[in-house]
Structure 1
Amino acid sequence: MSLPATDDRLDARQLAEAFRQFSEASEALTGAYAGLQTQVGQLTERLSVLMGALPAGVVVLDRDGFVVQANRAVEAMFGQALAGVEWAHFSAARLAATDTPGEWQFETAGETRRVTRVDAALESGDGRIVLLNDVTDAHRMRLAVERNERLAAMGEMVAGLAHQLRTPLAAALLYTATLVQQEMGPADRERIGNRAIERLRHLEKLIRDMLLFARGETLGREPFSICELVAELTQTLEPLARAKGLDLASACTCGDTRVVGDRKAIAGALTNLLENAVQALDGGGVIRFDAALDGPLARFRVADSGRGIDPALQSRLFEPFFTTRPDGTGLGLAIARGVARAHGGDIGIQSEPGHGTTFTLTLAMGA
């Protein structure tokens, strides 16, 4: 049994209408796609212009870590095209960490340049963007400012320094002049000779500290164990503390963690803090020396149970040549702060009269 002709005409009309609607939708989609392509082309062109104009280096990586795009600035930095380069291998070979956290250095055209580096993942998860900003000139200016500040401080204190040099020198001259007296017995001669040597050593230390402060920089960099340094300094200072009847205890919770820096300079800064604590205490006093990790920092603390330090003096303790001891050079704490800051950290004090003093020295782990 066949369907009526009217049904065939109805189906044909519906099919034609459906085809017309499909054609209109297809044309609309084609137009929209063409519009999107135009917008993408414009955005791509603007992005290319922007990347070319940026003074900072821009590197775009795919999900496998290969460079898919790099602007002129970053290729000028390294003196080569970077497209297709495996970035992890390239950056490990060319970029070296510096003593300042977040800053890297590399050699190019016979000079050393410094950059800051920021890595950011794309929201799509298909890669990353690396931004490199050249801070070489800013670093040089910072070093110059720090050196000028040190030289200015030395200039302001030159009169006081001359007095400090004159006092031990005059004492040494007096003692040595006494040694030529023929009637002096062997025991007195030895006693006077030891005093002359003591004053000359003090003079030597004063000059050495002055040179360290003027230089204000670390000379070597090596990885070393935090806990091994704590144990070594404790062993060195323990006889001195025991001779004064003091209790010196240490602790380190850093495990096998190592920090990179000038081990000798850091040890000298911590030794200065420990010696100050020993000199500030009387028999029966307690000194606690500990080290721990504090986020990106290694934190050293030297706490004593002494008389504490007056708040009016605390703000001046780190001034060059300021000292409260007759035999002090006034440079130890200034040098210690310089060492800490050269390693991306700092030094601070907490003290209250009658409740002891705590010095905290920090170093950047990524230095």
Structure 2
Amino acid sequence: MNLFQIIIFIGLIGNTVLGLFVLLSNPKRAANIGFFSLTLSMMLWLGSMFFCSYQHSPRMLLFWIRQTSMFAGLIPLGVSILKLTIVHDSLSLRRGFYELRYWLLVSFSIIILCHSSVFVLSASNPTASELVPPTEYGWGFIVYMAFFIGAIINFIFSFWRIAKGRGGAQKTEIQFLQLGCVASFIIGVFLIAFAEILGDQELSLFVPLSVLALDGFVAYGIATRRILAAPEVLQRVVSYLLMCLYLSVLYICAEWVGSHIFRWFVIDTTYFSGLLAALVVAFSVVPAQRWMQRFSYHLFSSSHQFDVDQVLEEAGHVFQEVSTDETLMALFSGFIIRAFQTTRVVLLKVGADGVFRHHYAFPEWGEKTDLSLSSQSSLVELVRRDAEPFTEDTLERMRPSILVNGARRDMRALGASVAVGSFTHKKLQMVVLLYPKTSRAIYDLREQKALQLVCNQLAVALENANLYTAVQNGKIYNEILLDSLTSGIVAVDDARQVTVFNQRAQTITHLPVEDIVNESMEQLPAALTEIVEKILTTGAGVRDYDTFIDTGEDRVPVRVSGSAFHGHTGKHLGALLVFSDMTLLRKMEERIRRTDRLSSIGTLSAGMAHEIRNPLVTIKTFTELLPEQYGNQEFRETFFDLVDQEVQRIDAIVNRLLNFARPAKASLKPVYLHDIIENSIRLVEQQVINNKIQLQTNLAAEHHLILADAEQINQTLVNFFLNAIQAMDLGGTLSVETMLNKSAICIDVRDTGCGLSEEHEKHIFDPFFTTKESGVGLGLSVSHGIIQEHQGTIHVDSEPGKGTVFHVELPLIDEKEI
């Protein structure tokens, strides 16, 4: 095969492959069938030309030239058929013949013209230096060429009229058909015309390749699932053509300059000048591409030129604003309306049941609309599977299947033009629906890719918005919860700044929150600052630590607990304090102590009554004998001495009772514990005797100086003694013993009474717990509180039927501190 035959063969194969590819991609679609009819007419034209190139007989050569020209004349008819199938999706055969009646008539006339004697006068076989057979045309060829020029003009105006009155995919397909026809027909007609005008038949050598321009443009516009808009394609084609032209001119100029420069150094400048020109072109490719793209962009710019970079930048600004779900939806929808010139945006969000329901629409529907898609719907399955947008046009171009047909029905039911999935972690979270554009143009490939990127960003932004909402709700919940607590809460971070200071903490400390939160912990009361510093430094917590907060007006007693807290990685985050105002509790404890003191006084008074009665009997006896023995001086002296002793004895008993009953305020002073024990024993001495109880004391501790309130310790010991006496109805032994334990002194009060059960032992120090028929059960509870206030410990050991032991331990102080 010669070059001409190779060119024909390439055109024939390319045309046939494209025709079959488009037909098989969707054999039921009218536009695909129309395109195949167009490629069929071009296959007949190229096939006739191929046979013509092999003829050696002048008669057969002339015959195949007529056949070639005839089939070329049928190409406009094929274009008209394709145009008709694009405009009318479903058209009957009869209606089709009616719409094409003029083209059929003109095509029949062209067939007659091509076989007339006025069309081709003669033809001869090409010589060894020629590839195209020399042909002499008659005046009929002028009519033939006028037909093609008229067809081109007709197509241009009819395509423009159709595109203006229609929108969407039909407009785009017509634009690509117009673009392909103009490119192909202009190339073919001008090559043939110039060949005839210049008398150089070799120019028509490349005419067969013109069909590939038509096939390429039209096949892209009809069969490609996702296409660019025709103006964008034309812009790119012009950009690359201009770049090729610019680089070609640049190469020629560089080669000419190089040849003139290198001739001074070498004889043959071909290699060096070519190398220079190649280097110049190589370094100019990138800037040339940028310049030509910018030039073509301005050349084809319109009122709304879609700029992907600008859209993505604006989307970034929208999604940077962390806000609520509703606000984000409004911002996103407004952005989509502006950027993509759509008439409406609808968002379908997946629910817990997997159904995608109407979540947001902008603009709002005029009437209530309940749009939804099940998770098994065809459109959702398709979007989830391919993770890319689907338009009405895309679905129409796809090969029919159960899934595709179902997606088409879903799209028509929704009335939308585009469905885009919004994914996070490869999971479909939302389906975004876009409705027709205001310009009725298609959503082209660039816009679809931008939409997918933006919708994926939307999913991430929605996740952030939900997290933001959850954090805000959690913050409000925590604030309400913290402010509802009856205890003060303080949190300090690792940088020693206060992060939490609830309402109760403000009330107890008399400090406003704005002066504390986000400020140094040094702004806290000194007592709290000291505890926080200890926790942050050592990492050890505190529990039920009693201290005072100085508010400037008074000293508030508080009980503080605190601990360090850590993150999930174990990193130290700060410290937390919980403290309670103990003022009311202290008052209640004081009232309980007074009640208990009065109860003890009643018990003590019963024993002291007998002790007071004895001196009174003595005084009464001497008083009755005084009138009779008044003259007896010895009697009078004895009487006076005896009465004085007995009165002092009564006075001492009453003073001990008054000292015990006096409600003095607690005052810690250095005192000797043994003196307090001995005084307490004297208070209950009469009860011990009356109940026939044996008293044993073993005050063996060598050091017994403590810091205490003597009256409160006295009250505590009396409570222990009275409980022991009441536990021994039939007599027994009450023993008191002291011993040293490092820096503390231990007091054991032991009885041989009835003892306590294990269950009663657990509640022995609970307020109002008692095992006696009479009494309110406050004595031991008060005693427990007093010992704790003195930084001591107390616990009980008891065994039913054997007795009970109270173990008390109090810290000692050094006598040097007195």
1:139 correspondence with 2:586: yes
Q: Which residue of 2 aligns with 1:77?
A: 508
Q: Which has the larger strand fraction?
A: 1
Q: Verify the 8 A CA contact 1:309 1:352 in the aligned structure 2.
A: no
Indicate yes or no: 2:652 matched with 1:205.
yes
Q: 1:55 aligns with which of 486, 506, 522?
A: 486
User: Cα distance, 1:144 vs. partner?
Assistant: 1.9
Structure 2, unaligned runs of 5 or more: 1-387, 389-448, 532-543, 678-695, 722-734, 756-777, 813-818
Matched, 1:299 2:737: no
Residue 122 of structure 2: aligned partner: none
Structure number with the higher helix fraction is 2
Contact 2:660-2:711 within 8 A present in 1 as well: no
- Which residue of 343, 346, 357 maps to 2:787? 343
* Percentage of pairs with the same residue: 17
Secondary structure, aligned partner of 1:118? strand
Structure 2 counterpart SS, 1:68: strand
Quick one: which amino acid aligns to residue 342 of structure 1?
Answer: I
CA-to-aligned-CA distance 1:19-45 (integer Å, 9 cap, x gap)? 999998766544433432232222122
Residues 292 and 299, structure 1, Cα contact 8 Å, conserved in 2: yes
8 A contact 2:753–2:803 mirrored in 1: no
Cα contact 2:546–2:557 (8 A) shared by 1: yes
Partners of 2:665 and 2:577 in 1: CA distance: 30
* CA deviation after TM superposition for structure 1 residue 120, in Å: 2.9
Q: CA deviation at 1:133?
A: 2.1
**2:547 partner SS:** strand
CA distance in 2, matches of 1:287, 1:154: 21
CA distance in 1 between counterparts of 2:808 and 2:715 reads 12
Distance (Å, rounded) in 2 between the aligned partners of 1:102 and 1:219: 19
Q: 1:86 aligned to 501, 521, 535, which one?
A: 521
How big is the alpha-carbon RMSD for the aligned residues of Structure 1 and Structure 2? 5.6
- Pairing 1:309-324 to 2, within 5 Å after superposition: 309=752, 311=754
Q: How many residues align?
A: 286
SS at match of 2:486: coil
The 2-side partners of 1:53 and 1:336 are apart by 34
Among residues 599, 618, 630, which one is paired with 1:171 in the alignment? 618
TM superposition shift of 1:126 = 0.9
How far has the Cα of 1:290 moved from its partner?
0.4
CA distance in 2, matches of 1:161, 1:259: 29
Q: CA shift at 1:341, angstroms?
A: 4.6
Shift of 1:61: 1.0
- 1:290 paired residue among 739, 748, 755: 739
SS at match of 2:634: coil
Question: What TM-score, normalized to structure 1?
Answer: 0.54
- Out of 54-63 and 165-174, give the one that drifted further: 165-174
Alignment partner, residue 561 of structure 2: 118
Aligned 1:267-282 pairs, distance under 5 A: none
Residue deviations 1:253-312 (CA, integer Å, cap 9, x gap): 99xxx96422576489779999xxxxxxxxxxx985303379xx9632367xxxx75549
**Separation of aligned partners in 2, 1:25 and 1:158:** 88
2:585 partner letter: A
User: Closer, same or farther in 2 for the Cα pair 1:30/1:336, shift >3 Å?
Assistant: closer
Instruction: Compare CA radii of gyration and give the structure with the larger one.
Output: 2
Match of 2:634 in 1: 184
Letter in 1 for 2:658: L
Change in Cα spacing, 1:335 to 1:74, as seen in structure 2 (3 Å) is closer
Q: Which SS does the other structure have where 1:80 is aligned?
A: coil
Match of 1:38 in 2: 469
> In the TM superposition, what is the alpha-carbon distance from 1:154 to its structure 2 partner?
4.3
Partner amino acid, structure 2, of 1:90: P
Amino acid at match of 1:210: L
Aligned partner letter, 1:145: I
Query: Deviations along 1:45-102, whole A, 9 cap, x unmatched?
Result: 2222222333322111112444222122211222223332425972328999xxxx74
105, 127, 130: which is aligned to 2:574? Answer: 127
Contact 1:116–1:133 (CA under 8 A) maintained in structure 2: yes
Q: Which residue of 1 aligns with 2:668?
A: 221
Report if aligned partners of 2:745, 2:811 keep a CA contact under 8 Å in 1.
yes
Q: Which has the higher contact order (CA 8 A, sep 6+)?
A: 1
Unaligned 5+ runs, structure 1? 1-16, 235-245, 275-285, 313-333
Q: Is the 8 A contact 1:173 1:196 kept in 2?
A: no
